[in-house]
Structure 1
């Protein structure tokens, strides 16, 4: 089993080497914009092979790019236009359904590339050297320079792990180049007997994560601190945008990305905290695909200030990032993450099985079963339901030898059968004497 990691390496370049990197990154950026204009002129072309035939010779002659970079540039441009076409079709569908009246304007002008970032292919544009050095391609040939990075990533590289493509990017504030490398690390194939503990993780906004296992242990991570930080950045951006001066624009540029980095760091630390608190576990995560489309509703010009604030918070909910961090870090820490159905996890009573929206009065923090009167924290209830569904997945894995199988019926029918099976699960001292 292979896990893909991303290693960020700081290049120790001399002034002469930095000048060579400046030249190749600026030439690559100009090549991207040139290819983008050609693609836009050719009816917003999004096919990489056709675009490469149109611009390859020009990229080699006008910008002096090596052959591999002259192939990478049209591929990157074509991928950007493919994204724009996808957004255009989504906008068309939304307009037909009456969700919006705005026309998508992303294809009106050629895609513009500003960042000084280029793609390297391992073995063609960059390669490892002895004593912690790397050789990278420039317009004037190869440049060999030392690099620093996270110690575990350096150990993986020194151990000869499989290496993929890399991106060279420039951080303007530090006047420093970094090489972002894709690494594939080999880990042992998981087996059901490897994970003695079954854990369920319920993600939310009041509590960013509530974790429980089959032994009754639980862990709560409040989202109050992160929410306050997000509100601070939102107020700051709003005030600067309202001001609109040149200094306010410079300030907006300075703080751009700061909130995103804060949340990424928050989710990194939270995922590690969960994995260390519940080691060697099979971790169940909710399948929240398209959750916003199902719950948020559409924009309302007459919405109150409070409802607008709540919608902004929902749109900034970073549950997918947290689940991604848990999924890729789990095998590296002796655990494994699987996804289970999220339907009714916060509405189903774990004592009697009664399922109803009325079990959560006002969608509040307390779950009160209207059938048996069982009362518990709603997020803890959701975590326990996820734990039991994960336990069912492990039992199926032990019985069949496969973590998931292709159903003989349609996906909707298979999901209905799973939910029917989940309805019989119970969490009570009678069924689990250790609680």
Structure 2
């Protein structure tokens, strides 16, 4: 079993190397937009092979990209169109079932690639050298650049870890290049015997994460200090968007970066605490895919409904889940997805499920059948833990994991 981690390497470039990398990035982005326009004009094509056959020569002539990069461009565009087509089909199903009235508009016009981040293929576009140096392909040929990074990641690279594709990312405010390298790490195959403890994780806004074990232990990870900052950023962003000036736009870019870093750092801290508190555990996470379409919160156009939608869209729970998943593998644990339906409305004692179990949709859970009373988020975590326990018991009895493991690189 393998898990994939991303090593972020800081490139210490000279002015000439900086210029060469930046020029290559912009040419790559321009070629992405050219192929995107071509795909849109020819039936919103998503087949990477057909796109490459039709655009390869033009990419080489017009943008002067090396051969491997010219092959990577149609693949990336084709993958983007496949994703958009999947969203269109899912939206059609949801509209037919009455879950939403909105039509997905992602393919109404050709997707535009704004980020200049480009993809490098290992041993074709870039290779690692001795003394912490990397050879990178540009429009002007290869450049050898020294790099620095997290000691453990650098050690994995030097010790012969399985290296995959990488992305050249440019931090515009700092005017700094980073190479994001995929590293595959070999892990021992999980068994029920190696995951003795079961943990349920419930995510939310008041508490970013609440954990519960089958032994009755629980932990609350509050968002009291973080969520107000996110709310402030949302209000400030709304005012700046209404203003619409160039200085307001620059300010919006700075705010978006700060907010993204705040959420990412918080998710890193919370996920690390959860994994370190529960080593060698089977961690249950809610299956939240299409949760916005599956909930009734989106129905209605009044201010209260719109505010509720904004509130539940502010935090990146998918990012938190992915961080828990890959950190769990590194600490001999594993995260899986379980059904998220009615986790905070079902009584963990008698099983009675109804909306009235949460009076006024508050933090207090009161079972209308047996009068069992508890914190609503803790009830959700306990229900997730019990569903995870059922999966573990089935795994132990059959030898097969009955649900797809939510593991990075699995």
1:308 aligns with 2:309: no
State the alpha-carbon separation in 2 of the partners of residues 91 and 187 from structure 1: 38
SS class of match (1:258): helix
State the Cα distance separating 1:104 from its structure 2 match: 2.8
State the Cα distance separating 1:188 from its structure 2 match: 1.0
Greater gyration radius:
1
State the alpha-carbon separation in 1 of the partners of residues 104 and 384 from structure 2: 41
Q: What's the CA shift string for 1:135-175, capped at 9, x where partnerless? A: 11112221111111122211221221111111112222122
**Change over 3 Å in CA distance of 1:61–1:326 after alignment to 2:** same
State the Cα distance separating 1:180 from its structure 2 match: 1.0
State the Cα distance separating 1:116 from its structure 2 match: 2.1
Greater relative CO (CA pairs within 8 A, separation 6+): 2
SS class of match (1:33): helix
Describe how 1:13-162 pairs up with structure 2 within 5 A.
13-89=13-89, 99-100=100-101, 104=105, 106-108=107-109, 110-162=110-162
**Change over 3 Å in CA distance of 1:300–1:367 after alignment to 2:** closer
Q: Is the deviation greater in 357-366 or in 98-107?
A: 98-107
TM-score by length of 1: 0.85
SS class of match (2:202): strand
State the alpha-carbon separation in 2 of the partners of residues 265 and 95 from structure 1: 36
1:212 aligns with 2:212: yes
Partner residue in 1 for 2:279: 279
State the alpha-carbon separation in 2 of the partners of residues 370 and 222 from structure 1: 28
State the Cα distance separating 1:124 from its structure 2 match: 0.5
State the alpha-carbon separation in 1 of the partners of residues 27 and 91 from structure 2: 34
Q: Does the 8 Å CA contact 1:84/1:107 hold for their aligned counterparts? A: no
Q: What's the CA shift string for 1:29-82, capped at 9, x where partnerless? A: 232233233333333332221121122112222322111011111222223333
Describe how 1:236-385 pairs up with structure 2 within 5 A.
236-301=236-301, 303-304=302-303, 306-385=304-383
Q: Which runs of 5+ in 2 are unaligned?
A: 405-410
Q: Does the 8 Å CA contact 1:346/1:379 hold for their aligned counterparts? A: yes
State the alpha-carbon separation in 2 of the partners of residues 253 and 337 from structure 1: 34
**Change over 3 Å in CA distance of 1:386–1:46 after alignment to 2:** closer
State the alpha-carbon separation in 1 of the partners of residues 375 and 106 from structure 2: 46
State the alpha-carbon separation in 2 of the partners of residues 78 and 238 from structure 1: 34
**Change over 3 Å in CA distance of 1:200–1:14 after alignment to 2:** same
SS class of match (1:330): helix
1:174 aligns with 2:177: no
State the Cα distance separating 1:270 from its structure 2 match: 0.3
Partner residue in 2 for 1:410: none
Q: What's the CA shift string for 1:108-153, capped at 9, x where partnerless? A: 3x43333222111001111111111111111222111111112221
Partner residue in 2 for 1:222: 222
Partner residue in 2 for 1:420: none
State the alpha-carbon separation in 1 of the partners of residues 186 and 104 from structure 2: 47
Q: What's the CA shift string for 1:242-284, capped at 9, x where partnerless? A: 2222221221122233322211211111000111122222212
Q: Is the deviation greater in 24-33 or in 328-337?
A: 24-33
State the Cα distance separating 1:99 from its structure 2 match: 4.7
Q: What's the CA shift string for 1:300-359, capped at 9, x where partnerless? A: 33x13x443222111224222211111111010121112222333323323333333322
Q: Is the deviation greater in 282-291 or in 155-164?
A: 282-291
SS class of match (1:43): coil
State the alpha-carbon separation in 2 of the partners of residues 194 and 83 from structure 1: 36
Describe how 1:170-209 pairs up with structure 2 within 5 A.
170-209=170-209
State the alpha-carbon separation in 2 of the partners of residues 344 and 188 from structure 1: 34
TM-score by length of 2: 0.90
Partner residue in 1 for 2:8: 8
State the alpha-carbon separation in 2 of the partners of residues 353 and 99 from structure 1: 30
State the Cα distance separating 1:84 from its structure 2 match: 4.1
Q: Does the 8 Å CA contact 1:201/1:383 hold for their aligned counterparts? A: yes
